[in-house]
Chains A and B, each alone.
Chain A
Amino acid sequence: MPDWLRHAWRVTRKDLVVEFRSRTAILSAATFVVLVLVVFNFGRDPTAVSAVDLAPSILWVTFTFAAILALNRAFQLELENQALDGLLLAPIGRGSIYLGKLLANLIFVAAIELLGVPLFAVFFNVPVLPYAAPLAAVIALATVGFVAVGTLFSAMTVRTRFAELLLPVLLLPFMIPPLIGAVLATSRLLAGRPLSEITGWLNMLAAYDIVFVALALLLFPATVNE
C-alpha cells in the first residue's frame, strides 16, 4: 500500500473508532432516517399519489438530510481539544487527511443508506431486490459526489458562526446535479425501464464525482493551512 493511502486509512480508522466507541452519531442518524421515512408516509395522500411515483424523491430527500447531519459532525469532532491542530501537525499530507475524512464520511453515510433502502422498500412497498445492483451503483455514484463536496465544505463551515446552518445552505446547490441524476435514474429503475435509459445520468454522476473529488483534493489544503 502506498504511504498516502496508508495515512488516509489511519485517519479513517481514527474517525471510525471514535464513532464506534460512542455510537451516538450513527444511532441518531439511523433514528433520524426512520423518522423521516415515517413522516413522509403521512405527507402524501395514499389514494391520490401512489407510493412508487413518490418513492425516488422520498429516498433521496431522506439521504440528503441524513448526509448533511453526518457531514456536520465530520469536522466538529476535530474542534474539541484542538484535535485538528494535532492532525495537521502529523507528518502526513493534506491530501491524505482529506481522503481519510472522505472515506470515514462515506462509510458513515453508506451505513445509513444500507439501513434506509430496506426500510424504504418495506414502508412504501417498492420492489427493490430485482434492481439491487444498478440501484446500488446509482446510490454509490451520487453519494461519492456530494459527500466529497460536503467534506470539503464542512472543513470550512465548522470554523464559522452558525456552522450547522451554513453547511446545508452552501452544500444544497452543489447537491442538485447529483440529486437530479439520482432521482431520475432511480425512478427509471423502479419503473422497470432498461438500464440503457439511464447511462446518460450515470455518466453525468461519474463525471461529477471525478471533477469534485479532484477539486476537493486540490482545494482542501487552502481550507486548513493558516
Chain B
Amino acid sequence: MRMLRVGRWITAIALVLLAGVYVRALVYTPVEQSQGLAQKIFYLHVPAAIWAETAMLLVGVASIVYLFLKDPRLDRFAAASAEVGTIFAAIVLTTGPIWGKPIWGTWWSWDARLTFTLFLFLLYVGYLLLRGAIADPAARARFAAVLGICGMCLVPFIHFSVYMFRTLHPMPIVLKPSAPSLPGSMLLTWLLSLGVFTLLYVGFVVQRYALSYLNEQLEAAGGELGHA
C-alpha cells in the first residue's frame, strides 16, 4: 500500500536526520558548563515531551470531530496519534531519569513534571487498553472518542495540580514568554531536533494509520485478525 511506504520513508529519513542531529549535538554544540555531557539529553528529551503532549491534544481534537462526523478516518488518526504519543511519553520517561541520576543524584523524584508525564503516559495506556477491549469497531471508536475528549480536558487539571507542588525540574528555557535563554548554537541544535521529532511523529502516525486501515479491510473481509 502506498501510504504505508510513504510512512516508512518519512520515518527512515527522520531516523537518519536524528543521527545527524546527534552528531551535531555531540561534536559541534558546546558542552554546557554546569551539567556537562548530561545536558545533551535535552535535545532528545524536550522535543519528545512537546510531541507527547501535542499528540494528546490532537487525539482530543480528532475525537471531538469524530463524534460529529462519524468519519472512521478520524478514529484511525486518533488511535495512531495515541500510540505514537505513548512511545514519545515513554522516551521522555526513560531519558528523564538518565539525566536525573547524574544531575539530581536520583533516578526519580515525585516532581511536578515527572508526575505529570507519568500520568500522561498512563492516560495513553488506558486509552489503548480500552480500544483493545472492545470488539465492535463502531462502539470502539465512540468509546475511544469519549475517553480521548476527557483525556484532553484532564491535561490542564493535572498540569495545574502538580504545579502547585514544589518542583526540582529545570524551568523552561526555550518555550517561555521571554526570549529563549540559550546560546545560538544550542538553540539551533534543539530546533533541528524538534523538526526531526515532528517528522518522526508524522512518519509513525502515517504508518500506524495505514496499518489500521489494512487491518480494518482484513476484518471486513472476515479475516480472523486481532484488532489493534
Contact = CB atoms under 8 A, between A and B. Distances in A.
Q: Is the interface of B mostly helix, strand, loop or mixed?
A: helix
A219 B146 contact: yes
Interface stretch (A26-34, A89-97, A114-122, A156-164): A156-164
Contact of A181 (B123, B133, B146, B161): B161
A224 B154 CA distance: 22
B16 interface: no
Nearest to A225: B142
A166 B126 CA distance: 8
Interface residues of B, number: 27
Interface string A188-226: 000000000000110010011001100100010011011
A206 to B, nearest CB: 12
B65 interface: no
A153 B142 CA distance: 12
Contacts of B119: 173, 176
B161 A177 contact: yes
A180 interface: yes
Interface in A119-163: 149, 152-153, 156-157, 159-162
A177 B123 CA distance: 13
Interface residues of A, number: 33
A129 B158 CA distance: 31
A72 B114 CA distance: 30
B160 interface: yes
A170 interface: yes
Interface string B69-80: 000000000000
A173 B164 contact: no
A81 B122 CA distance: 35
B142 A180 contact: no
B98 interface: no
A211 B157 CA distance: 10
Contacts of A201: 164
B129 interface: yes
A136 to B, nearest CB: 21
A211 B153 contact: yes
A86 B154 CA distance: 33
B145 interface: yes
A174 B154 contact: yes
Given A170-B130, A180-B162, A222 B147 contact: no
A180 B146 CA distance: 24
Contacts of A219: 67, 146, 149-150
B154 A223 contact: no
Contacts of B138: 226
B134 interface: yes
A204 B160 contact: yes
A166 B81 CA distance: 21
Nearest to B131: A160
A164 B161 CA distance: 28
A65 B147 CA distance: 21
16 contacts: A159-B134, A159-B139, A160-B130, A169-B125, A169-B129, A170-B126, A170-B147, A173-B119, A177-B160, A181-B161, A215-B150, A219-B149, A222-B67, A222-B142, A223-B143, A223-B146
Q: Which 4 A-B pairs have the closest CB atoms?
A: A160-B133, A177-B157, A177-B161, A156-B143
Interface of B: 67, 119, 122-123, 125-126, 129-130, 133-134, 138-139, 142-143, 145-147, 149-150, 153-154, 157-158, 160-162, 164
Given A156-B146, A173-B154, 9 more contacts: A152-B146, A156-B147, A157-B130, A159-B139, A166-B133, A169-B125, A173-B119, A204-B161, A219-B150
